[in-house]
Amino acid sequence: MIRKLVGSIREYKKVTLLTLLLMVGEVFFEVLIPFITADMVNDIKAGAPMDGVLKTGLLLLVMAMLSLSCGALGAVTCARASSGFGKNLRRDIFTRVQDFSFENIDRFSSASLVTRMTTDVNNVQMSFMMLIRIAVRAPLTFIFAITMAYIMGGKLATTFVVVVPVLVFGLAMIARKAMPAFRAVFNKYDKLNESIEENVRAMRVVKGFTREDYEKKKFAAASQDICADFTKAERIVALNSPLMQFCVYFNMLFVLTVGSKLIISSGGTTIDVGQISAMLTYGMQILMSLMMISMIYVMLTMSAESAKRICQVLDEETSLHNPDQPVRTVADGSVDFENVSFKYSRKAKRSALENVSLHIDSGMTVGVLGGTGTGKSTLVQLIPRLYDVTEGSVKVGGVDVRDYDLDALRSAVSMVLQKNLLFSGTIKDNLRWGNENATDQEMEEACRLAQADDFIRSFPDGYDTWIEQGGANVSGGQKQRLCIARALLKKPKILILDDSTSAVDTRTDALIREGFRKFIPETTKIIIAQRIASVQDADLILVMENGRIVDMGDHQSLMARSPIYREIYQQQNKGGEENE
């Protein structure tokens, strides 16, 4: 896990190492200052000349400036290294997610991925910053200060034999009690973000059913749960302060009491005022370094859970890989399913598709009908290899899709998904997802074919109209038509519409299909639809049930022999007659 995370430091290795060196320099000068100060105090007490005192004072000033400079530069280089590390780590996670197949994405919720790229990365970044700065500074300060304390105070330094174990034991117990609460928080963050994401996306539904109060209560409960865990952990961690103060004051009391007696009893021969002042300073440095080490321990334990969650994403192997010698050209839009069975998970008891065999000639228009959960969307998602078949094979242009270069295959297959999605930007920006080099003329032609040109021109800014996130400022039918136009700009060999005209009226739907017949006759068109009118004139209509193709043929032949198709047709026509 550590090796995986360290790989994200990359170009910030030099600045990271520089931070470590600067921290060593800061500690070195900081620990020497009390030693020299003690000698100066003793010299002044012994009546040393002013010249000697000034020289020592000047030396102390130089050392203080050097320590300050090392600390300040270390803060700058540490900020640069930790921020760069966080940037690289987020980029690595995002890049990894882009390589995921649908199967990989199904293992992580979108809210969980957002939490990992924000909260979890922030925690790991904070720990990295503490490691290269405080985690170097604190142990070195502790070691140097203990050494110098024994050099300066001799037996008086035995106070640390009592104080240090008490503080270490207390801090360890505090951290041990606090950690379970910190660990429990992160999974709850996922649920909180999920609740926010779901609420924002479904805002119209929430308001339509006046469920605002319910959503507020649900969010408040999740937020209160996280607050309770953090409060519990922070309440325990807050015990650090009184424990630290107890040890500091005990050390000061012991050093002043025992030290004063030693000075009086020995007449300053065993220990002097300078040594006592140094002991007080070293005692503070030792205890503060232990305090910092405990903070590092708490932070590292917190971020360990975040690091595990990040590495889960980085270690996730995509289930789809390019072959060693991929085919990079798709000959035509023919599609063949040969004894295809598919499960979304190896543990799944039921197959989403079972023993499907099908041949589609290039340029055909194919309709797919069936109830919810019959495998219609699953069937078409295997064509651009969004998933791999469990058994059998899917061929496009006579070649198994697993033998194609993924980019080449998906460039030849345009798919308008069931859930249409537009991105923040202008209409032109969204259309260019289909072809980033598309000219204005090509975009207008695609929009005319998708019956989108008229409503686009009705906007004051036309094709430069700004689309809000998710297409919130356009209707469902307009969104569908823009997505179809975007798909057409790819000039694909296969065009798949997964229930993508459900929000448009029957006249517009008919005009879109008429445009397909006239202007892209060589493109294979596969249309999943709920209404028979959308596929009635198709060359081939598939009727699906329970993950199987139970019948296929044109409209007339299915009306004659397929009870399922006939029932759907009669129900829809009856509904239409009643509505009339």
Strand partners, 551: 543
The DSSP code for 115 is: H
Per-residue pLDDT band at 40 (split at 50, 70, 90): confident
Tokens of 289: 């370094």
| Residue 186 pLDDT > 70 | no
Strand partners, 393: 338
Q: Torsions phi, psi of 414, nearest 5?
A: -100, 130
* pLDDT tens-digit series, residues 393-421: 999 999 999 999 999 999 999 998 877 78
| Spatial distance between the Cα atoms of 97 and 135, rounded to a whole number of angstroms | 32
| One-character DSSP codes across 37-85 | HHHHHHHHHTT--HHHHHHHHHHHHHHHHHHHHHHHHHHHHHHHHHHHH
* Count of all residues that appear for the chain in the document: 580
Residue 489: burial class (beta carbons within 10 Å; 0-12, 13-18, 19+): buried
**Which are the contacts of 95, defined by CB distance < 8 A and separation ≥ 6?**
none
The DSSP code for 473 is: T
pLDDT value of residue 269: 60
Secondary-structure breakdown of the chain: helix, strand, coil percentages, each rounded to the nearest 5: 65, 10, 25
| Spatial distance between the Cα atoms of 417 and 291, rounded to a whole number of angstroms | 56
CA angle 88, 93, 94 (to 5 degrees): 95
User: Which of 394, 396, 424, 387 minimizes the C-alpha distance to 492?
Assistant: 396
Predicted TM-score of the model (pTM): 0.69
pLDDT value of residue 412: 94
Tokens of 301: 């334990």
Do 314 and 96 contact (CB within 8 A), yes or no? yes
Q: Torsions phi, psi of 553, nearest 5?
A: 155, -175
Per-residue pLDDT band at 548 (split at 50, 70, 90): very high
Strand partners, 466: 426
pLDDT value of residue 303: 81
Do 245 and 287 contact (CB within 8 A), yes or no? no
Tokens of 410: 């998906």
Residue with more model confidence, 88 or 137:
88
Give the N- to C-terminal CA distance of the chain in Å, as an integer: 66
pLDDT value of residue 171: 73
**Which are the contacts of 180, defined by CB distance < 8 A and separation ≥ 6?**
none
The mean pLDDT value of the chain amounts to: 84
Q: Torsions phi, psi of 88, nearest 5?
A: -65, -40
Strand partners, 369: 543
Tokens of 202: 């479904």
| Residue 72 pLDDT > 50 | yes
Sign of CA dihedral 365, 370, 373, 375: negative
| Spatial distance between the Cα atoms of 166 and 89, rounded to a whole number of angstroms | 39
* pLDDT tens-digit series, residues 210-258: 788 888 888 888 788 888 877 877 787 777 778 777 777 777 777 777 7
Please tell me whether residue 202 adopts helix, strand or coil conformation. coil
pLDDT value of residue 395: 96
